[in-house]
Structure 1
Amino acid sequence: MKLSLLPRILIAIVIGTLLGLIAPAWCGRIMATFNAIFSQFLGFMIPMIIVGFVAPAIADIGGRAGKLLVVTAAIAYIATFMAGILSYFTGTLTFPSLIGGEESIAISENASQLLPYFTIEMPPLMTVMTALVLAFMLGLGMAFLNGKSLKNGFSEFRDIVSKTIDAAILPLLPIYIFGIFLNMTIEGQVGMILKCFMKIIVIIFILHVFILVLQYCIAAPFASKNPLRMLQTMLPAYFTALGTQSSAATIPVTLRQAIKMGVREDIAGFVIPLCATIHMSGSTLKIVACALALMIMHNQPHDLGLFCHFIGMLGITIIAAPGIPGGAIMASIGLLQSILGFDEQMVALMIALYIAMDSFGTACNVTGDGAIAAIINRIFPPEASKQ
């Protein structure tokens, strides 16, 4: 049977939880060893993912310089950032009461930790911030010089990184998640974690619906149309994204529905493919909510300044990740570790929680692209868009 990533993750969680009830400690230590090695490999790949995704994306975007690009990119980034801020404030208001005093159960100081038998050190070639600065420098340089050799080389490097994710990281992720849940069950933590998962997923789904309605209420005056009618027109794109789990793969449907909504073909043809790369409201909303919930469960500080820094960097780091199911969470792991201080277990829980809702975040992203296209359609009349 060929299963997509989400069913495999869910199966891994169930089997890991059930086997953890009867598995001996040595079995948990074997999985802890695998997880330690995989975590090292994941840490090694993070700078590669950032450079491989971000540099070619900036080079491609920068090659389309002009007012239309600048305004579209600014609106998309503001929408992404505000979705993250909305998620943060909603989480700070609701998560403490939902999770309720369970953080002490989640991370018990007296819990027995299953240590790996050994690990293999794979230090990354550079830090996350170094990778991000390097990606920006190379991306802007390639866009400015408009050369082909370096751009082609980085396009091939992006393909190598993408292939590594598809062939090595994603197939091993269910085993990694299995090991985490097996060990959490042995250590007696899994029941509370799963209960919190369900509460968080419900809140995030409600947030996705709210952010879409809000985006179309903002876009409606620009288009002089009913926001709910506009949202209804974009629903085929939403449901297509639920199936594909990829903003890039949904572009044809998003483009068609945006034109049906009244956006001119030339504007839709520019804005929709661009926003499929840079507009990540749904993914950012979900990453912020999941990260905040885990920090509350682990009783870690989560002030507004810290999350503003995280959200601001996240909106840049995850561009060009939508082509791969789960690509956004892969690209954000470095920020979770460097800015929010996530450890290996928190990263694994983050991946499991994110992928459990991956298709809903993608659907929110692509549906919101239509709202941005409607705004741009009004800002740039036919004469302006041809300049």
Structure 2
Amino acid sequence: MLGKASSIKNIKLPLILLFVLLIPLFFGGIVPLEIKSFFYAISLTMKCTLILITPLIIFSFLFSSLISLKTNIIKFVVILISAVFISNFIAICTGFAISFTALPKLHLPIQNSFNDPAQLKPLWEFCIPKLIPTEFALIGGFLFGIFFSLKKSSIAEKIAEKLNEISTGFLKRIFVPLLPLFILGFVFKLEADQVLLKSLKVYSPVFFVIVGTQICYIILLYMIASNFSLKRFFTYIRNVFPATITGFSTISSMATMPMLIIATEKNLNNPTIVKTIIPATINIHTIGSALGLIILSYATLLTFDYQLPTSSALLKFAFYYALAKFAVVAVPGGVLIIMCPLLEKYLGFTGEMTGLITAVYMLLDPFGTAVNVTGNGAFAIIFSKIYKPSSKKKQFTLFESQKI
């Protein structure tokens, strides 16, 4: 009963965000300019507040995620974390590669209204400078998490649990309920600048590029997992498909985890390693969102005619994004909470672009979640081929899944 309520709640949020997009689209012309300016100011204030506390959120989730690894096998921990990072990094780079090759062929229309000096202004301006760079929080959380996952400390575990509790409470009780309000002001801004309708039309063909890329990537992963045996490939897909559909309908990797474990046990025939890897990677190995968000971000840069980032900036972005995957919490839009500072620093995003991409990404989230779940099943199979215990004895204990 609780799972059903959670599923309904997860489905309801994208519908609300769709409604938020439609209000300015159809009724923006009759809404007074002062009201638009008011909501735009709220969105900017929320954005500045979020950017200020994002480093703490990143550190707390990264620290608590890595410290929760319940094993004394250093080799296993290092290989698992390295494999997750490399897999996410490859997916991110693949997203950029597809963006470079496929998106220019769509001839996306350019929006240049942001250069108009008569654009909508916020009713007030409020912003506090960020005290800690996002990169410091990422690296610090990673190093502390790895250190205390290998050198156990009850004090460190209590601190990690408390930080995780505070950050999760903020996201679940404050940010997620206010997410529609956060987006509404930026959407009013786009409508006032007369680029909202054009921008939404742009994402229609981009949607097919994203979903097509995600499907092809999953096929490739399972072909690798099956050693390119078609018979084994179709067996793997048939077994994991119920978990894929569940992930699509619930929009929650955590809610799908029991079904994914059952499916992957059939594919791998090794319950111990499956029940270790799946809970440990369910939130941090997310190739669906890696592919989708990258392509969506690049399409946004093209349609708003922003200067495309250099190769150096893209590599830095990919590195920190792959690192940030360890800090993503399983709440709607959680990945974008972590990504906002990186999008703005390395890809040159503005607040309006962030607001729009948040709403559009949430509408695509069912597909991304389905790919995340399915990809985790393939990752477990491939990882089992990489990690070879030195003896037949049980070499590691079960991971504790992150408490969300």
TM-score strictly above 0.5: yes
Which of 2, 6, 15 aligns to 1:7? It is 15
Q: 1:20 to 1:333 in 2, by over 3 A?
A: same
Contact in 2 for aligned 1:99/1:297 (Cα 8 Å): no
Corresponding residue of 1:362: 369
Contact 2:38–2:122 (CA<8 Å) still a contact in 1? Answer: yes
**2:259 pairs with 1:253:** yes
CA distance in 2, matches of 1:244, 1:115: 38
**Distance (Å, rounded) in 2 between the aligned partners of 1:385 and 1:311:** 38
Query: Which whole-Å CA distance do the structure 1 matches of 2:119 and 2:393 have between them?
Result: 60
Output the CA distance in 1 between the equivalents of 2:147 and 2:245.
38
1:164 Cα offset (Å): 0.8
Partner residue of 2:192?
Answer: 186
Counterpart-to-counterpart distance in 2, 1:324 and 1:6: 13
Amino acid at match of 1:45: I
CA 1:99–1:352: 2 relative to 1, 3 Å:
farther
Task: Give the match for residue 400 of structure 2.
Answer: none
Between stretches 116-125 and 275-284, larger displacement belongs to 116-125
Give 1:120-269 correspondences, 5 Å limit. Answer: 120-221=126-227, 226-269=232-275
Q: C-alpha root-mean-square deviation of aligned residues, in Å?
A: 2.3
- Residue 39 (structure 1) aligns with: 47
| Secondary structure of the corresponding residue to residue 302 of structure 2 | helix
Q: CA deviation at 1:193?
A: 0.5
- Does the Cα contact within 8 Å between 1:278 and 1:320 map onto a contact in 2? yes
Say which is worse superposed, 131-140 or 199-208, in terms of deviation.
Answer: 131-140
C-alpha change, 1:297 and 1:262, in structure 2 (3 Å) is same
Quote the offset at 1:377 in angstroms. 3.2
Q: Is the 8 A contact 2:74 2:150 kept in 1?
A: no
For residues 266-303 of structure 1, give each alpha carbon's deviation from its aligned partner in whole angstroms, at most 9, with x where no partner exists.
Answer: 11111111221331211111121111111122322234
Q: Classify 1:376/1:384 alpha carbon distance in 2 versus 1 (closer, same or farther; 3 Å).
A: farther
Aligned-pair distance for 1:180? 1.8
Corresponding residue of 2:323: 316
Matched, 1:348 2:355: yes
How far apart are 1:259 and its partner, in Å? 0.8
Q: TM-score, normalised by structure 1?
A: 0.92
Aligned with residue 16 of structure 1, among 15, 20, 24: 24
Contact 1:128 1:338 in 2 (8 A): no
Aligned amino acid, residue 361 of structure 2: Y
Distance 1:344 1:205, change over 3 A: same
Against the structure 1 CA distance between its residues 44 and 380, is the aligned structure 2 distance closer, same or farther, given a 3 Å change threshold? closer
Residues 307-330 of structure 1, C-alpha deviations (whole Å, 9 max, x = no match): 222122111112242522221121
* Whole-Å separation in 2 of the counterparts to 1:368 and 1:152: 32
Contact 1:111 1:187 (8 Å CA) reproduced: no
1:113 and 2:92 correspond? no
Summarize the alignment of residues 283-302 of structure 1 with structure 2, pairs less than 5 Å apart.
283-298=289-304, 299-302=306-309
2-side partners of 1:241 and 1:106: how far apart?
Answer: 38
- Distance in 2, matches of 1:360 and 1:129, equals 29
Q: Residue type of the partner of 1:81?
A: F
Q: Tell me the secondary structure at the aligned position of residue 116 of structure 2.
A: coil
- 2:283 pairs with one of 272, 277, 287: 277
How far apart in 2 are the matches of 1:146 and 1:107? Answer: 55
**Number of aligned pairs?**
385
- Structure 1 residue 121 displacement after superposition: 2.6
Amino acid at match of 2:340: I
Contact 2:135-2:320 at 8 Å conserved across structures: no
Q: Give the aligned partner of residue 98 of structure 2.
A: 90
Q: Which residue of 2 aligns with 1:327?
A: 334
1:68 counterpart residue number: 76
Q: What residue in structure 2 maps to residue 81 of structure 1?
A: 89
Instruction: Write the letter of the residue equivalent to 1:309.
Output: K
Unpaired runs of 5+ in structure 2?
A: 1-7, 396-404
Which deviates more, 270-279 or 8-17?
Answer: 270-279
Between the aligned partners of 1:10 and 1:163, the Cα distance in structure 2 is 25
> Structure 1's 225 and 45: CA in aligned 2 closer, same or farther, altered over 3 A?
farther
Q: Taking structure 2 as the reference length, what is the TM-score of the superposition?
A: 0.88
Taking the aligned partners of 1:361 and 1:280, their CA distance within structure 2 comes to 8
**Cα shift at 1:340:** 1.8
AA aligned to 2:357 is M
Whichever residue aligns with residue 264 of structure 2, its letter is: A
Displacement of 1:386 in angstroms is 2.6
In structure 2, what is the Cα distance between the partners aligned to 1:288 and 1:180? Answer: 20
Partners of 2:295 and 2:76 in 1: how far apart? 32
Look up the equivalent residue of 1:16 and give its one-letter code.
P
Task: Using the TM superposition, give the Cα deviation of residue 96 of structure 1 relative to its aligned residue in structure 2, in angstroms.
Answer: 2.1
Contact 1:241 1:247 in 2 (8 A): yes
- AA aligned opposite 2:35: C
Residues 62 and 144 of structure 1 are in contact (CA less than 8 Å); yes or no, is this contact kept in structure 2? no
Shift of 1:217: 0.7
